[in-house]
Structure 1
Amino acid sequence: MNINYNFDFSFQLVPFITSILAWCVIPIIAYRIMKKQQVMPKAWKVLFCVLVGLFSFTINFPPMWDTPIKISILPLGVWILYAFLKRKEGRWKTYRRFAWLGFWANFIFLAAALIAVPVQNAIYPKNELSTYMSNVENASIRSIHPSGKKRVLDTDTLLKQIHNMNQEKIQGNQWYQEKEIRDEQSTKKNERFPYQLFGTTSKWGSGLKPIIYLEADGKGILVSAPQKQLYFRSNESLLKGEE
């Protein structure tokens, strides 16, 4: 089976909220620094220094919870600001703390991202089918292989079974061997997942845009997400119509 990924931009609620909170923390810190200055610096210059201070040389580390980890180690923006501000006496002393705030803000964003991932996964568990198929009232199936029969989706059964379906291990090698045996015994090529589900939506804020396939017997659902596949099994067939 050839699986083509076509995942659209999607909205992740928790990372969005933590990013907003991180951006709110930075101006609060900047304002507290400004109040301690003997000479109040101009707000737009403070903003400029913070933004330039964000520029840094980073090292990429292995992803944690499927999240890229980038650690800032060299404050390039701070060095740039120092090179320009040191020319006038007292200028660097006034704005250096804001430049360093920009650099350390990289770690605030990193912390926000790391906090967001487990919270996001707790609210939108990726091992539950309902996360990927929150709204199935308008769901339908389409045959994507010649072995798929003219059958329709039983949405009533799907609604009853969606919270009770058990996740099972994907038996890739076993499925491949069974397919080879079937192909040798018959001239007709059979596909294990000849149907694709349409009209379903994942939970709002989950950021998931999976491709969902239905097994030939109507009891198995294969969820193809960007970074993994999951297989769920129903006690009842989700198909109705001619066998």
Structure 2
Amino acid sequence: MWNGNIIEIATSIMGWIVIGILAFRIYKTQLEKPKAWKIFVVILVGLFSFSINWQVFNTLVQISILPLGVWILYVFLKRKDGRWKKYRRFAWLGFWANFILLSMALMAIPINHLVYPKDQPLTYLANVENVSIVAIHPSAKEHMLVKENLQKQIHNLKPKTFFSDEWYTETYMEAESSPRKERFPYLLINTLPKWGSGLATTIYIEKDGKGLLIVTPSKQYYFHSDELLIEEGK
């Protein structure tokens, strides 16, 4: 089963292709040709750097600040005459490769939002043929999923706010005096997101049979249907 994000992988491959082209151009300009595997190692070491983290649209990216790999290569290669001069440009290419890969990662962000919109349930429920529900709380009654309604409603659902003062009071403030009321006592299983999205989600159904709570590693999305998504089991 495919579990990776195809857009991020494709843009990363594009970045390495660009790096490879630049390395080949440097190679062609040199009179003394280094071995290909040595060039590859030097570029990889050149990638090593001191970086800072930056959050962009819920995506963590790294910005290289200090070329630690280049410094290491300089100390190691300067011991032999001409060795540093021979590999210097490849070492710096390794460091600048961080920015090439960063630019590709930034390019992938808007494409991801366009192809896999996070605020649409269809992104997380691309195929509902094999989905079913399980009760995860004692308050849940025996119900079955109405796949036809789910398939019909999934194209029209819009995200809404599910936190409210009433829900907070029922869930937390009254929990000590009475059994906790679970608002999402059903779990939707065997769900399939859009191919190539690499999304890992947990999807709950509200006790009224109309609400969907989609939980991702970074965010929660709540959708409410006009029709019942579950009905009492027979």
Q: What is the TM-score of this pair, normalised by structure 2? A: 0.92
Which of 193, 214, 231 does residue 223 from structure 1 map onto?
214
User: CA separation in 2, counterparts of 1:100 and 1:188?
Assistant: 63
3-state SS, counterpart of residue 237 of structure 1:
coil
Structural mapping, 1:29-178, within 5 Å: 29-61=22-54, 63-178=55-170
Runs of 4 or more, structure 1, over 6 Å off, are 180-185
- CA deviation profile, 1:171-225 (whole Å, cap 9, x unmatched): 243312245798799x665321111111211111112111111111111111111
3-state SS, counterpart of residue 181 of structure 2:
coil
Shift of residue 88, structure 1, vs aligned partner: 2.1
Maintained 8 Å contact 2:170/2:180: no
Q: 1:200 to 1:220 in 2, by over 3 A?
A: same
Q: 1:83 to 1:241 in 2, by over 3 A?
A: same
Maintained 8 Å contact 1:147/1:189: no
Comparing 10-19 with 37-46, which one deviates more in the overlay? Answer: 37-46
3-state SS, counterpart of residue 176 of structure 1:
helix
Shift of residue 49, structure 1, vs aligned partner: 1.3
How many residue pairs are counted as aligned between the two chains?
A: 233
1:198 is aligned to 189
Structure 2 letter corresponding to 1:169: T
3-state SS, counterpart of residue 159 of structure 2:
strand
Structure 1 letter corresponding to 2:19: I
Shift of residue 36, structure 1, vs aligned partner: 0.9
Gaps of 5+ in 2: none
User: CA separation in 1, counterparts of 2:92 and 2:171?
Assistant: 61
Shift of residue 241, structure 1, vs aligned partner: 2.4
Shift of residue 10, structure 1, vs aligned partner: 3.1
Maintained 8 Å contact 2:133/2:186: yes
Shift of residue 39, structure 1, vs aligned partner: 2.0
The reply on whether 1:235 has 2:226 as its aligned counterpart is yes
